[in-house]
Homo-oligomer: A and B are copies of this chain.
Amino acid sequence: MAHQTVGHPPPGLPDHPHTTAPAPTPTCPVEITLAALSGRWTTLVIRELLRGSRSYSDLRRALPTLSDKVLTDRLSHLTATGVVHRDRHPGWPPRVRYTLTPHGHRLGPVLQALWDWGARDG
């Protein structure tokens, strides 16, 4: 996924004058965000982490129907995009804490906006 319309200033959603919209590239801010949220379960993982840091198995328990692979995929993707911070504790058994970064926390309002629209009757 990716959007682009060349020369779109940050708060400039409704302003693109007539520029043709070219191919989708992950340069468009809207697409960057959608890419960060993309994938099934992603928003649920984020919401879980909005409540505080969690271990791998905490997340497994909170999201029972999601497989190891997918959870791992989501966490690594979220870590790669700077949404989640991964904290590895030394010792045995291995303990890892997943926490939202400040950037990740700022997804709260975004999810809220998504929620609000979806909750309203069409």
Contacts and interface: CB of A to CB of B under 8 A. Distances in A.
Interface of A: 1, 3, 5, 10-11, 13-14, 16, 20-24, 28-34, 36-37, 40-41, 43-44, 47-48, 50-51, 61-65, 81-83, 101, 103, 106-120, 122
A69 to B, nearest CB: 16
A26 to B, nearest CB: 9
Q: Copies of this chain, how many?
A: 2
Contact of A115 (B13, B81, B82): B13
A106 B117 CA distance: 7
Given A13-B108, A14-B108, A34-B43, A21 B118 contact: no
Nearest to A8: B115
